[in-house]
Amino acid sequence: KLLYHLEKEEQMPDGMCIDAEGKLWVACIDGGRIIRIDPETGKRIQTVKLPTPRITSCCFGGKDYSEMYVTSAYDGLDEATLAREPHAGEIFKITGLGVKGIPQNFYAA
């Protein structure tokens, strides 16, 4: 079942996570953002733009899971692109989203 059709500027989905309200957060690689989608309605309800385009994954953390950590990539970028994208490959911490994540499930190895 198709849940959401990405807009052109959102590019391609990569890593994802779920918040405590059951909403889906999607890292948009080459889109420079993460988006929050309501899986019931299929509507995008929040967008957080980041200072580099290659956003790869997102997860909630911190004491009460109110912080979001977002990874980005720099692999495959040439020197000229890296000069234009100095934040490529960094990890970002986002606060103030107004939602919290849920604890991760641990599995025995």
Q: Which amino acid is at 24?
A: L
The yes-or-no answer on residue 38 being catalytic is no
Q: Is 103 left (phi over 0), alpha (psi -120 to 50) or beta?
A: beta
DSSP for 11-70 reads -EEEEEEEBTTS-EEEEEETTTEEEEEETTTTEEEEEEE-SSSBEEEEEEESTTS-EEEE
Q: How far apart are CA 37 and CA 39, in angstroms?
A: 6
Is 75 a known ligand-binding residue?
A: no
Q: Give me the active site residues, please.
A: 14
> Which residues are documented as binding site for a divalent metal cation?
14
- List binding-site positions: 14
